[in-house]
Amino acid sequence: MDPIPTRVERIAAIVAILAALLLVPAAALGPGIAVVVLLFVAITGGTIAKARAGADGLVAFGAGSVPDDDPEAERYRDRREREAERLRSIATYEYDPRLDRLLAVALVVVGVGALAAVASGVGDGGRMTAYLLGGALVALNCALVAYATSHMNADD
């Protein structure tokens, strides 16, 4: 796959950035359809851009079309390949199941803490209790999944 983002991806990235910047003032002015629309546009534009249209691609090419034999495109390909090689040399891909077990313990602490908060009456009924119970449910289920994952991948 060519590392140069297409024109559509670069335009989508610009639109997503603008929508994300406008989202904060729209949310500050009050909840409304504008917030939902801007959030939808930001997520959709970001999905179209697929993280291939980074800041360096926007600076190098803008929103215009780029021919394949453009010298700037070749330099951009070389720069991206050097960056990818540098990241591959730095990153390790070794799996450690102890990290999954540590994540499971942390999630159990969060889940039990949320249940303790409900039992002590912090929620005082209503929405806060529902949020705490939902958080406890999600945290404890994620802890089970993380613990199971650590045991499934321990043999690898």
Q: pLDDT tens digit string along 26-39?
A: 878 877 788 888 88
Last residue of a domain, one of 90, 108, 128: 90
**CA 61 to CA 14: how far, in whole Å?**
12
**CA 72 to CA 13: how far, in whole Å?**
20
Are 14 and 61 contained in the same domain?
Answer: yes
Are 66 and 104 contained in the same domain?
Answer: no
User: Exposure of 143 by Cβ count < 10 A (0-12 exposed, 13-18 middle, 19+ buried)?
Assistant: buried
Q: Are 43 and 96 in contact (CB under 8 A)?
A: no
1 lies in some domain? no
Are 84 and 116 contained in the same domain?
Answer: no
**CA 27 to CA 38: how far, in whole Å?**
10
Are 13 and 77 contained in the same domain?
Answer: yes
Are 29 and 52 contained in the same domain?
Answer: yes
Are 81 and 143 contained in the same domain?
Answer: no
Are 73 and 134 contained in the same domain?
Answer: no
Count of domains in the chain? 2
User: Exposure of 59 by Cβ count < 10 A (0-12 exposed, 13-18 middle, 19+ buried)?
Assistant: exposed
Are 13 and 83 contained in the same domain?
Answer: yes
Are 11 and 80 contained in the same domain?
Answer: yes
15 lies in some domain? yes
Q: What is the pLDDT of residue 59?
A: 60
Q: What is the pLDDT of residue 6?
A: 73
Residues of the chain with pLDDT under 70: 1-4, 50-68, 92, 123, 153-156
Structural domain that includes position 42: 7-90
**CA 23 to CA 25: how far, in whole Å?**
6
Structure tokens at 7: 């024109």
